[in-house]
Amino acid sequence: MISRPDYIEKIIAYMDTPFIKILTGVRRCGKSTIMKMLSFEIEKRGVSHDRILHYNFDSLEYEDMTAKELFNTIKIKLSTEGKTYLFFDEIQEINGWEKVVNSLMSDYDVDIYVTGSNSKMMSSEISTYLTGRYITFRIYPLSFSEYLKFRNEFTVVDDPHRELVRYLLFGGFPALHLREYTKDEAYSIVRDIYNSTIFTDIVRRNNIRKIDLFERVVRYVFDNVGNTFSAATISKYLKNENRSPDNETIYNYLTKLESAYILHRCSRYDIKGKEILKTQEKFYLADPALRYSVLGYNADSTSAMLENIVYLELLRRGYTVYVGKLEGYEIDFIATKGGEKIYVQVANEIKSGSTREREYGRLLEIDDNYPKYVLLNDEYAGGNYQGIKTIHIADFLLSKDF
């Protein structure tokens, strides 16, 4: 296993605290591996192996198990000579799991870690049964920095700028970077992740009957990453294809895709009015490889997917991210964290004076002193223009300064 220390450090800080540690994220983003790493770290700290128990609820062994049966199975295995560390993988497969972990935390000396891949991990039942007793950690596919670490296990990486192109095409699902794959092989793996998420976590669980309509909505969203749109926009588009879905159906589909962590919703923020806008949001994908595995590669999508990569990096670093609106113009990202703020414009390259004016001029219109960046996929990107920093996207992704 290749370590992902950023997650380990964040989660292990809550070891032996009275909180259930919940790891959530899209399928195959590495949650189970991180759980194993956590158990190794706990064992390194002197906890005996017999006090560390693992359960994988994707296994057929637990297919028909009830919450009561699970509770009874676990309690007889708990250590009588110190705290027991419990690791529950994909625990949402057990109906009523919240009651199980709540009872264990209340009645026994345990430290609990769980993973899950859909909205059941954040349902109202959790709030009801685990109020104030859990902390969540969002796990993402590999960051660019983590990707380079994986790549270095198999090849010499001496040019991060060039590697950004490969990262854009292959994405960050860890399984794709444990050995060398062709693009066709890699996209076949990602399509399997996509299909299992769409048809298992969404269609089957939510009893969606109009599967063809649902898939058309998915393809529309994938094809419009980086564009603002609404449920009404998609509905109008589909009506032109002789479909007649109502806005509520489309909105429900988008919500389900978010719940399965396939999509991230990014709201717009009116910089002048200082308010979050409720219409014309943007949606970004959990990983750029999802788009290419479903729609195929298209060079015209490069700018949008670079924007997607930067958006995910800002989320990884704990920022709350919005699309900025200013006097009819759009700022790609306004990212806030702990009272600090940065503004970010992302472009593949700047080929003309009008493009330069668009990217820099919008940032110059913002009359505050927070840092402003223009990020480019250009070997010669660099410098400072009237206080706006120009940085290669790869260098920004690897920077520790924001």
Burial of 204 (0-12, 13-18, 19+ CB in 10 A): exposed
Cα separation of 173 and 330, whole Å?
30
pLDDT at residue number 123: 61
Cα separation of 52 and 4, whole Å?
21
Banded pLDDT at 132 (limits 50, 70, 90): confident
pLDDT surpassing 90 at residue 1:
no
Cα separation of 214 and 181, whole Å?
30
Query: pLDDT tens across 101-115, in order?
Result: 999 999 999 999 999
- The residue written with tokens 């192996």 in the block is 49
Query: pLDDT tens across 256-304, in order?
Result: 999 999 999 999 999 999 999 988 899 999 999 999 999 999 999 999 9
Is the overall model pTM greater than 0.85, yes or no?
yes
Q: Mean pLDDT throughout 43-49? A: 96
Q: Are the CB atoms for 212 and 206 separated by under 8 Å?
A: no
pLDDT surpassing 80 at residue 231:
yes
Tokens of 320: 């709350």
Q: Mean pLDDT throughout 379-400? A: 94
CB atoms within 10 A of CB 56: 16
**What SS3 state is found at 208?**
coil
pLDDT surpassing 90 at residue 387:
yes
**What SS3 state is found at 369?**
coil
Burial of 327 (0-12, 13-18, 19+ CB in 10 A): exposed
pLDDT at residue number 117: 79
Banded pLDDT at 124 (limits 50, 70, 90): low
**What SS3 state is found at 388?**
strand
Cα separation of 286 and 25, whole Å?
9
